[in-house]
Structure 1
Amino acid sequence: MKPKNLVIVRAVVDQGLTHAEAATRFGVTRQWVHTLVRRYEADGPDGVTPRSRAPHTHPGRTPPVIRDRIIELRHELTNQGADAGPATIAWHLEHEGRKPPSISTIRRILHDAALITPAPNKRPRSSYIRFQADLPNECWQADITHWYLANGTRIEILDFLDDHARYLLDIRPAAAFTGPMVVTVMTELITKYGAPHSTLTDNGLVFTTRLARFKGARGGFEKLLETHGITQKNGRPGHPQTQGKIEGFHQTLKRWLTARPLPETINDLTHLLTEFRTWYNTARPHRSIGRRTPQTAYTALPKASPSTNPRTAEWRSRTDIVDQYGKVTLRYAGKIRHLGIGNAHNGTPVLMLIHDRDVVVSNSNTGETIGEFTIDPDKNYQRKKP
């Protein structure tokens, strides 16, 4: 109780002061004196106790049912290995037919529930410089990551991601991926989605031979891109930020996999990755594409296509010695080819001049041409031209 209020009231009730006289004596308004006296007459001394000035209603307060659902979604999404930030929770509320509060309100509710760990030193997203293709199929990123089976076996995972829409074009596991296996996957994707304008990968040998110890021969992936007029781009060695989108995608993938038991076999992992691809493309909102799903973004615009610029011819040379079976070897499109020179030249040192698929083989000692070939990409053994 505030003593002054009771003194004012008793000055009027017990001492006979008018409301105006009491207001003048105690330095308050006559209306306030009237209010205090009315409260005293109704409730006694308790009536003049100071009352809260808070409004009786709170139209801006988040309803308890929405607050509870925000906390439920945080737990559900986290347990699924999915993104569970305030913006993602707002997206799910909206798609449930509920009006979500602001992102800052959702964040505050999660903080109050001790579901967010403060990270003041974390670099803000706004500080990153991001590049994004303008159209679907303008650039495909590809990479290989890994996961484990229940028995501890390490399994490689190959994935292709559209740069513009973040659409997961393909994802599959293997004990280890080779160049020809990557070529097979890329060929399937070109058949299904059309050839992209460009690709972006790291410098792994399954993608490029530009940093190989013995330079010159182009790998199968490079040959395939060349055939379709697709521009090949490779990140700077030791600089994974160039492939930042697919590196970030791998974090999403592994967070999702971590929320599930380790698969027993590669087939089990294949089924898991198929389930993940469906969820990632059709049910997961993506911050960088306006909280749309990748499938929505991929189908919203026309597709880019390869450049019409003429391809660059491959010119190189190689030395070898004809083996005991009358053959020399040559790497073409990522595979070792055997060129049949003939037993008459066993042990002869040779020089091979290669122009794309055409190869001229000469005796290194005499300069005499001893064989001409046109490489058949579908065969390992190559016969001499007549």
Structure 2
Amino acid sequence: MSHRNARLTVHGRRILVERVLAGRPVAHVAAEMGISRPTAHKWVRRWRTEGNAGLHDRSSRPRTTPHRTPPAVEARVCRLRSDRKLGPARIGPILGLPASTVHRILLRHGLHRLAWLDRPTGEPIRRYEHDQPGDLVHVDIKKLGNIPDGGGWRTVGRTAGDHNRQATTHERRSCKPVIGYSYIHSAVDDHSRLAYSEVLPDERQHTAAAFWQRANAFFSAHGITVQRVLTDNGACYKSKIFTQGLVTAGIAHRKIRPYRPQTNGKVERFNRTLLDEWAYLRPYTSNHERTEALADFLHTYNHHRCHTALDGHPPISRVNNAAGQYT
């Protein structure tokens, strides 16, 4: 594409060639069109050699780059990036290269952003998305510490927070000042990002199986027929009760590779959104208050919150679009 101050466009170059072919001197035509004679000769020569295709813009990249960094050095830069996760300012002194050169090498090989690399292996992350809602649903559990009645120490300070914690503990007749944990079970559709979550008291096999029954009913109510479920290798997901519940409903069970949570990345990212926009959004005075706020968050997330992976639309819009497309 020509820049905004270009003297000639593709149409103007055709006019140039037509006037020269009509028998007029190249110098006179160049002066009329406000360009130099070498430029006019260049376009006439390209037209005679390549025809109309020669009048279009082409890349200014040189055919050869004699001073380009040798491939062996580029390979060492890529290895340092993948193995040690170093940046250009660290790699440059090790190999005796300017940081700008290292950055260009990383950019050329698609390694210039650490967020695009798998931290344990250093390999580029491969992202995927299934074509229809229900083709794959990601399921996971997030553990959160309970909030004592009256608020925790982050909300009311150390002294009052410890007092609230002790009061809640004594009500349970426990000797250790432990409030306990809540377990947020979540299911996220791979295609639409439609999400369903519940705050439950544990992560046992019966709890996980019962949660999935309710999650499956939620997706069915939105017209989504679940085909596959993807989980990690937690004990509750490896249990016969959870697996049998999926088999009975005709749903295939898939598990991620050990120590590779990136495979289950959509629900992992949803867990992070849960923390930022619900669990730690504001101070809560009790665990019950935080649990009650989950319903409002889920409604906002599914129906109103824009999603960058969905071109700025909420998940429910993709569910409705898919329903209109495949029915």
TM-score, L = length of structure 1: 0.42
Max Rg structure: 1
| More contact order relative to length (CA 8 Å, sep ≥ 6) | 2
Give the structure with the larger strand fraction: 1
TM-score, L = length of structure 2: 0.49
